[in-house]
């Protein structure tokens, strides 16, 4: 019988476990996650007001509740206090790393280190109740914000900045973040892209949603749209539809509404300017199409006031100690999901999801990605089984001082979040700190037992 560890319980980890149990009638899968809560970015990234996408957690749940799958939360692999990659490898026939792309890219411009400039990741983690996130005073004294980027995450954070209490209350957002967002004095958010609307990566549905926010008008400068050399007829369908939406907003007469989302294009940030020890403005250089799909600077500059700057210019994987890592792509080198060490596929080590192919695609893209990896794993597993793999890895983890949060512990967290929501007159409200999550999980889960 094959014993497999899947590291990471996000979409790619869950789809990997699903493929394994569907394709091998005997395999046993442990899904390890450093957090006590499963589902990765579906819980800690997908915007709280996107309930339909959030509800994908229900289908990931059925995977983790499968009789041959076991969730072991609170188990970090690699790094300080974590299970070393080599040790984990010794506890299973195969290990599949599905650890995502946990960090974000920098702008690389002066002033980026100023208080008030954050990554969208940090902001998202805060309103999503990630236990590593802190309330960094994101919205203190903020009247206008700049979001740099033109993807769906940039749209998400722009929208969350403009949502009011009535729309936030039905979400599972932690109460502290809800109060802060609902009471914020942000009256203007500029979402700014280096290139033109034809290169923007947001999807039309998400873009259009910005125009539905109560009490907020979306403003687009007609001049920004006119700059794009490509005729709409030459564009792919998504970009063509985006342009139609943007043109509609550009042609709107002023409404008298004083809360605005301004969508700007062809502006490259060159410096963040300080005011009173924190960000006060962003200096942009106007860009122009270079005729090859990129942009070039024009030497003309403009300054935009902002007390909050969120950069959303892409995610990046982080190296996991003991695993090879390609700095250029921010991924683990692989061949059809097999981890490649020193140019050759390393026996029993695999990757899937964002750490395998980089941060691209939607949640569903992780399914075929996991399928490819599992096909490689099962093809390799036809070789003679190892005899030195223990029946159950948990005793070894306990001996190393790591007590996993098992499924009952997670269910206790779910119950506590429902109870908290009921007390606050809301639906489910997420718990946001390590101590509470672990105390709740450990108070009700039976001591970890070796698998019978
Ligand atoms: C802000 C944001 C919003 C998004 N919204 C949408 C959306 O609305 N719709 C959509 O289709 N897609 C969305 N996506 C994309 C989607 O979330 C990803 O495609 C998907 O989550 C990638 O899955 P993954 O399993 O590779 O990584 P992740 O979901 O990041 O899961 C990785 C898991 O590994 C765990 N882990 C990491 N390191 C370790 C370690 N050392 N030891 C143990 N565990 C570890 C993490 O805790 C995490 O649970 C969004 C992405 C972001 C960043």
Which tens digits make up the pLDDT trace of 164-210? 999 999 999 999 999 999 999 999 999 999 999 988 999 999 999 99
The alpha carbon of 167 and the centre of ligand 1 are apart by a number of angstroms equal to 25
Rg of the chain over Cα atoms, rounded to whole angstroms, equals: 23
Same domain, 331 and 254: no
Note whether residue 322 is domain-resident: yes
Same domain, 326 and 253: no
Among the ranges given (113-127, 168-182, 436-450), the one the predictor scored with the smallest mean pLDDT: 436-450
Same domain, 268 and 322: no
243: its two tokens: 């342009």
Q: Is the pLDDT of residue 227 over 90?
A: no
Element (H, E) at 32: strand 28-32
For 22-61, letters b (16+ CB in 10 Å) and e give eebeebbbbbbbbbbbbbbbbbbbbbbbeeeebebbeebb
Same domain, 92 and 175: no
> Which residues neighbour 31 within 8 Å (Cβ) at sequence distance 6 or greater?
5, 6, 8, 9, 13, 14, 17, 38, 64, 69, 70, 71, 72
Count of CA atoms in the C-beta half-sphere (13 A) of 162: 29
Q: Which of 287, 315, 343 marks a domain boundary?
A: 315
Same domain, 110 and 68: no
Question: In angstroms, rounded to a whole number, what is the distance separating the alpha carbons of residues 191 and 200?
Answer: 11
Note whether residue 186 is domain-resident: yes
Q: Is 337 in the pocket of ligand 1 (CB under 6 A)?
A: no
| Contacts of the segment 364-368: beta carbons below 8 A, 24+ positions apart | 366/10, 366/11, 366/12, 366/15, 367/11, 367/15
Q: Whole-model pTM?
A: 0.95
Instruction: Provide the residue range defining the domain that includes 32.
Output: 3-102+317-404
Look at the chain and report how many structural domains it folds into. 2
CATH code for the domain in which residue 57 is found: 3.40.50.720
Note whether residue 15 is domain-resident: yes
Q: Give 148's DSSP letter.
A: E
Over residues 228-253, the pLDDT tens digits come to: 766 666 788 888 999 999 999 999 98
Same domain, 281 and 235: yes
Note whether residue 411 is domain-resident: no
Same domain, 234 and 352: no
pLDDT at 451 (0 to 100): 43
Q: Which of 315, 335, 366 marks a domain boundary?
A: 315
Same domain, 260 and 350: no
Question: In angstroms, rounded to a whole number, what is the distance separating the alpha carbons of residues 127 and 138?
Answer: 11
Q: Which of 363, 383, 404 marks a domain boundary?
A: 404
Measured from the Cα of 120, ligand 1's closest atom is 1
Same domain, 140 and 269: yes
CATH code for the domain in which residue 197 is found: 3.50.50.60
φ, ψ of residue 39 to 5 degrees: the values are 90, 0
354 annotated as belonging to a binding site for a ligand: yes
Q: Is 35 in the pocket of ligand 1 (CB under 6 A)?
A: yes
Note whether residue 231 is domain-resident: yes
Percent of the chain with pLDDT over 70: 96
Same domain, 200 and 245: yes
Question: In angstroms, rounded to a whole number, what is the distance separating the alpha carbons of residues 125 and 432?
Answer: 10
Q: Is 119 in the pocket of ligand 1 (CB under 6 A)?
A: no
Direct distance between the N- and C-terminal alpha carbons of the chain, in angstroms, rounded to an integer: 14
Q: Is the pLDDT of residue 447 over 70?
A: no
Residue 317's CB: how many other CB atoms inside 10 A?
Answer: 24
Note whether residue 176 is domain-resident: yes
The alpha carbon of 40 and the centre of ligand 1 are apart by a number of angstroms equal to 5
Q: Is 100 in the pocket of ligand 1 (CB under 6 A)?
A: yes
- Please say whether the beta carbons of 334 and 351 come within 8 A: yes
Question: In angstroms, rounded to a whole number, what is the distance separating the alpha carbons of residues 101 and 78?
Answer: 15
Same domain, 129 and 238: yes
Question: In angstroms, rounded to a whole number, what is the distance separating the alpha carbons of residues 353 and 370?
Answer: 7
363 annotated as belonging to a binding site for a ligand: yes
The rounded mean pLDDT for the chain is 94
301: its two tokens: 């500059």
Same domain, 132 and 190: yes
pLDDT band at 452 (very low <50, low <70, confident <90, very high): very low
Note whether residue 17 is domain-resident: yes
Residue 282: alpha-carbon gap to chain centroid: 25
């Amino acid at each position: 019988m094959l014993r497999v560890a899947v590291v990471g319980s996000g979409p790619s980890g869950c789809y990997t476990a699903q493929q394994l149990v569907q394709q091998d009638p005997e395999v046993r899968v442990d899904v390890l996650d450093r957090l006590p809560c499963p589902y990765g970015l579906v819980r800690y990234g997908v915007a709280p007001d996107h309930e339909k996408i959030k509800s994908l957690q229900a289908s990931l749940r059925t995977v983790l509740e499968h009789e041959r799958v076991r969730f072991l939360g609170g188990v970090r692999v690699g790094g300080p206090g974590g299970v070393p990659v080599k040790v984990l490898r010794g506890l299973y026939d195969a290990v599949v790393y599905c650890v995502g792309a946990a960090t974000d890219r920098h702008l690389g411009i002066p002033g980026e280190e100023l208080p008030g400039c954050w990554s969208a990741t940090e902001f998202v983690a805060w309103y999503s109740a990630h236990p590593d996130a802190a309330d960094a005073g994101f919205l203190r004294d903020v009247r206008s914000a700049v979001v740099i980027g033109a993807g769906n995450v940039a749209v998400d954070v722009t929208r969350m900045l403009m949502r009011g209490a009535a729309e936030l209350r039905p979400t599972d957002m932690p109460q502290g973040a809800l109060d802060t967002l609902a009471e914020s004095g942000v009256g203007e958010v500029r979402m700014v892209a280096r290139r033109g609307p034809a290169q923007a990566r947001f999807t039309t549905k998400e873009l259009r949603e910005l125009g539905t926010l109560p009490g907020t008008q979306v403003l687009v400068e007609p001049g920004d749209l006119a700059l794009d050399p490509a005729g709409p007829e030459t564009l792919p369908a998504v970009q063509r539809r985006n342009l139609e939406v943007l043109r509609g907003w550009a042609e709107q007469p002023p409404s008298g509404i004083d809360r605005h989302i301004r969508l700007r294009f062809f502006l490259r940030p060159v410096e963040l300017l300080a005011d009173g020890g924190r960000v006060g403005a962003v200096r942009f250089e106007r860009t122009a199409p270079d005729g090859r799909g990129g942009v070039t600077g024009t030497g003309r500059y403009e300054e935009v006031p902002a007390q909050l700057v969120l950069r959303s210019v892409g995610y990046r994987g982080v190296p996991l100690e003991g695993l090879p890592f390609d700095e250029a792509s921010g991924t683990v080198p692989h061949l059809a999901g097999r981890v490649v060490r020193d140019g050759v596929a390393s026996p029993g080590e695999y990757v899937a999801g964002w750490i395998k192919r980089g941060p691209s695609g939607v949640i569903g893209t992780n399914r075929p990605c996991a399928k490819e990896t599992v096909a490689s794993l099962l093809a390799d597993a036809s070789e003679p089984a190892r005899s030195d793999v223990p029946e159950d890895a948990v005793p070894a983890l306990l001996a190393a001082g790591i007590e996993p949060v098992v499924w009952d512990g997670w269910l206790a967290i779910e119950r506590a979040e429902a109870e908290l929501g009921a007390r606050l007159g809301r639906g489910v409200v997420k718990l946001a700190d390590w101590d509470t999550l672990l105390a709740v999980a450990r108070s009700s889960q039976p001591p970890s037992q070796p698998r019978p």
